[in-house]
Amino acid sequence: MSYSAADQRHFRTYERPIAVRPGVRQGWRMALILVFLLGVGNFTLHRAVMDGGRGLFAELPPTLVRRARIASLLTEFVLLCGALYAARAGHEPWLWAYAGYSLFNLVAAWLLIARKI
């Protein structure tokens, strides 16, 4: 099957890769998957802590709890989007920072859910 010149130009526009820094290794796909999985874990931990009904959230009015939940979920989403962008662009220090942030979230959630603090 033969395509016209206009069709070929149309196909080429979708073949352009997202800008990646020169010299970036080709492991960005794996980094993207790992960051996405860390983000899913962070959202899961966030939900577990918010649904725990313990500490400060038990004392606040429901409207304030709802606003705090939305604000914290939006913040978490923005951090995940930034980390995904950094993974795609090949910025390794930001990926390590997001992994550290995820580890901190894991420890903090465990402390809150297990009622250690």
Write down the pLDDT at residue 115.
78
Cα–Cα distance measured from residue 73 to residue 77, given in angstroms and rounded to the nearest whole number: 6
Write down the pLDDT at residue 77.
96
- Of 15 and 116, the structure prediction assigns the larger pLDDT to 116
Q: Mean pLDDT over all residues of the chain?
A: 82
What's the pLDDT band for 40 if we cut at 50, 70, 90? very high
Give residue-wise pLDDT tens across range 101-114. 999 999 999 998 88
- Of 45 and 4, the structure prediction assigns the larger pLDDT to 45
Nearest in space to 88 (alpha carbons), one of 3, 45, 24: 24
Q: Which residue has the tokens 């951090």?
A: 79
Write down the pLDDT at residue 30.
87
Cα–Cα distance measured from residue 1 to residue 13, given in angstroms and rounded to the nearest whole number: 20
Residue 36 in this model has a pLDDT that exceeds 90:
yes
